[in-house]
Every structure is written in C-alpha cells, then in structure tokens.
Amino acid sequence: MTPRIRFALLIPLLAFLGLAGCASTNLQPVTSSDYQPVAEEHRIHRVCEQEQQQLADSEMVYHNQKLSDYLNRVALRVLPDEAQSRIAIEILVINNPYSNAFAYPNAKVYVHTGILARMENEAQLATLLGHEMAHVTHRHLLRERRHLRNKAAGLASFKATLGSVPLVGELSSALGELGTMASVSGYSRDLETEADNIGFEWMVAAGYDPYESPKLFTHLMAEMEAEAQAEPFFFGSHPKLADRQSNYQSLLAAGAYPRGGTVKREIYAKAVAPAIYETARLDLKAGRYAKAEKGLKRYMQIYPRSGRAHYLLGEVYRQRNDGNDIHNALKYLSRATKLNRKHAEVYRSIGIVYMNQQDKQAARRAFRSYLKWAPQAMDREFILDYIRQLEQE
C-alpha cells in the first residue's frame, strides 16, 4: 500500500470512527445469556455487507465449492454449538499469495489462498479459524472502535499502525474501512491475546492436537526468514508473530495436554490443493521461484499426474534458469506433454528452451506442435516468425 492510498483510506475511517461520546468497551460475547446487540452494531453490519459486496465485485474472492465446504465444515467443528446458534459463520477465500486471514464482525471470515497453501494440516487451520471466529463472538471490532474513540491518542496510534503495514498488494484498494481494520491493522494486543486464548480452547475441545498451534507461527517465521521478507500482516500487526508463537506455547505449557489429538495432514492437503496450486501460480508470476517450486512439489505429491502442475514446475525452472534448471525444465515440460499432449503452451516453452540451446530442429518441432494445438494463439505470428528464422539459419 502506498502512503497515498493509506492516507486516502484513513480519512473516511476517521470519519467513520467518529469522535464523540464515551461508550462502554465491556461488551458481553454473543454466547453470553445477557448478550444484547447494540444499534451501532447493526450499522457496522450494514457497512460490512457493503464492503463484502465490494470484495465480491473485485473478483478477488476465490470460488471453489469443495474447498469452501471443507473450510466451513472445519469452522463448525471448532465453533461451539452455543455460538453457532447466535452467529452464522461463513468462511470465504481470497485469491492472494500473502499469508493472511481476517474476520468481519458479521461473521464472515476471509482466508487467503496464500495461508491455506502454507499451513500443514487441519489442526493448524483449526487454530487459525478459532482465532478469527473468536474476534467475531467476542465483538472485537466494536470493542476496538469504542476503545479508539474513547482514547484521544487512539486515532494517532492507529494511524501509526497503518503506517507500518507492509505491502498488501492490490487487495488494499478493494478492502473497505472495516476490512482494513480487521485485516491490516489488527486489534490491540489484549484483544489478539483474547482471540488466541479462546480459539485455542475451542480447537482443543474439538479434539485437535494443541501441539500444532504454535507450529503455525514457527513455519510462517521460518519462511519469512528464508525469504528475508518483512513481517506479514497476518493477524494484524500486533502482537508480532514471535509474540503470538510464545503465547500459544505458554497456553500449551499451562495445560499439560495429552498427545494424540486430530491432525489430519493428508485430508487437509487434498482439500486445500486448489489453493496450493493457485498460490504457486501467483508465486511464479511474481518471480518467487523457491516458493513456487515448493508449492508445486507439494501439489504433485497429491496429484502426481497433473499435467498443469508439471508444466508450471517446468516454467519455474525455465524462467529461473540457474544451475541445473534448464535440465529440470525440459524434464518436467516433456512429462507435461505426456500427461496432456494437447496442452499447447507446454510446447511453446519447450520451443523456447531449444531455441536458446541452438537446437533448431527440436525448437521448430516444438513450435509447430504449439500452433497445432493452439491454431488461434495470439502470438501465432511471432511463433511463425521464429519457425521461419529457425529454417533459414
């Protein structure tokens, strides 16, 4: 997010937060017997719906019925019955390679394909969803809004928070005021810790392996270090990932939990496979080759005969072109043609590799196959030009 966009987002947000009045931040959770929604909440929910429509219109919401069904099943397994009778939880997916998830107060939780692709199993997913759903049941957005409004310095610190947010990508412009608050700035440390504690309690009660909870953060941190990447905006910016990890570790230490809870590694990987593929595709597009390679290899463990995954992995090697990469590129691209001999783009990539290697005959053959399977290709004239040059030289 550029400073200019950030500032532009901030102006309506300040107006929306309002400056008048001192309201109670001591609000009962939705599961409490004396829970009463307040008028302000109804207004917030209407804004949520508008923002969610805006997100839907932005085409960033990723649609895959099987994936949605799976995520919603896990969410309902984690969320206690008494909360399910009060809120209609729904998990949606955003097609974005950055690791993030956020919850709107009207019980819609958005999970990025990027974080689905990086988590290892259902127990980690249960940790993530538990945390996000606890923000909803414990009315954190309203509490945070009131807290900021009651505190004169609050708005300044919120502005400072937004100022330190790393790049969110094109998503930032599609998120509205509330989405920005939930997704980018996060909540105060106390509310984040409360969401950790409640979400953890729920996932344990649902039978998941609590020892998987801190691993969610261990892996995210290791990945960031490996890529020398800035802190992601996952779960908002406070507390930092390391704090979150130690919070889950102390929850674990306090409970003396038995081993042997539900983990579901294979079921998870298969269910989120479309997100793994999609994230790898976006990683390749952005030149994050190591991540794309890792993602595609994981995808191919699930679908070892996927032609499109072989093609993309071949493309990772062809585009990176480092060390043994070209050898590997040809290996995966040629396997891709065997898995789906009509996949035109694969032949184009093979043609380019051979052309660079000065193997004119092989390059010509590959380009001809490309045009055979994609006779209407946009780059047809370029390719015909290549073939003519290869014939002349």
Nearer to Zn ion, 64 or 180 (CB): 180
Shortest Cβ 340–Zn ion spacing (Å): 42
Nearer to Zn ion, 144 or 192 (CB): 192
Stretch that binds Zn ion, among 172-180, 186-194, 248-256, 322-330 (CB under 5 A): 186-194
Euclidean distance between CA atoms 248 and 257, whole angstroms: 13
SS3 content of the chain, % helix, strand, coil (to 5): 65, 5, 30
Structure tokens at 114: 């990027």
- How many residues touch Zn ion under the rule CB under 5 A: the total is 3
Span 190-209, contacts to Zn ion by CB under 5 A = 192, 195
In sequence order, what are the residues at sequence separation of 6 or more whose Cβ sits closer than 8 angstroms to the Cβ of residue 97? 112, 113, 114, 117, 279, 282, 283, 286, 288, 291
Binding mask 12-51 for Zn ion (x = CB under 5 A): ----------------------------------------
Backbone φ and ψ for 230, nearest 5 degrees, come out as -70, 160
Shortest Cβ 172–Zn ion spacing (Å): 18
Structure tokens at 377: 């290709």
In sequence order, what are the residues at sequence separation of 6 or more whose Cβ sits closer than 8 angstroms to the Cβ of residue 94? 55, 60, 61, 62, 110, 111, 112, 113, 171
Shortest Cβ 258–Zn ion spacing (Å): 28
Residue 391: count of CB within 10 angstroms of its CB: 10
235 binding Zn ion? (CB under 5 A) = yes
Shortest Cβ 305–Zn ion spacing (Å): 39
Nearer to Zn ion, 189 or 270 (CB): 189
Euclidean distance between CA atoms 45 and 31, whole angstroms: 18
Nearer to Zn ion, 104 or 235 (CB): 235
Euclidean distance between CA atoms 241 and 230, whole angstroms: 11
Stretch that binds Zn ion, among 14-22, 155-163, 233-241, 254-262 (CB under 5 A): 233-241
CB-based burial label for 158 (10 Å; 0-12, 13-18, 19+): buried
Nearer to Zn ion, 51 or 192 (CB): 192
Shortest Cβ 270–Zn ion spacing (Å): 27
Q: Which residue is nearest to Zn ion (CB)?
A: 235
Span 280-299, contacts to Zn ion by CB under 5 A = none
Euclidean distance between CA atoms 112 and 275, whole angstroms: 9
Stretch that binds Zn ion, among 164-172, 235-243, 337-345, 357-365 (CB under 5 A): 235-243
In sequence order, what are the residues at sequence separation of 6 or more whose Cβ sits closer than 8 angstroms to the Cβ of residue 334? 350
Structure tokens at 25: 């931040």
Shortest Cβ 245–Zn ion spacing (Å): 14
Shortest Cβ 125–Zn ion spacing (Å): 15
Residues that bind Zn ion (CB under 5 A): 192, 195, 235
